[in-house]
Amino acid sequence: MINDMSFLAVLLLAPWFAILGWLYWRTAPARFASARGFDIAVLSGAVALSIAGMALGLHVDPAGHHPIIREIVASLIAYKGFLLVLVMAWFWRRRAAWRAPA
């Protein structure tokens, strides 16, 4: 059952997500800086995937475990989803910038 406090873990992770998003934004290569639309799409996708991961993780059945395990699993899925999107986009962006003509 999902209650009002279910997404508290994502709110607590939001400052860390903001720091990671800022670092991703700042590491844009100079030749690829004009593609900010791609960066905005990546950051939006990372947030959407982390929220979807949180919703998915909240449906874990903690049979035999403490009920807080549901929030822990949901937070881990949300965090890994956010990182997965950022890391994949970062590598793709660096590869695209390396291949771009000078």
Domain boundaries of the chain, sorted by first residue? 13-27+34-96
Rounded (10°) angle between helices 36-57 and 69-99? 160
In tens, the pLDDT along 27-55 reads: 876 665 567 888 889 999 999 999 898 88
Q: What is the mean pLDDT of the chain?
A: 82
Return the pLDDT at 84.
95
pLDDT exceeds 80 at position 17: yes
Query: How long is the chain?
Result: 102
Whether 54 and 80 have beta carbons less than 8 Å apart is answered as: no
Return the pLDDT at 26.
86
pLDDT > 90: percent of the chain: 31
Return the pLDDT at 67.
74
Q: Which residue has the tokens 């991703």?
A: 24
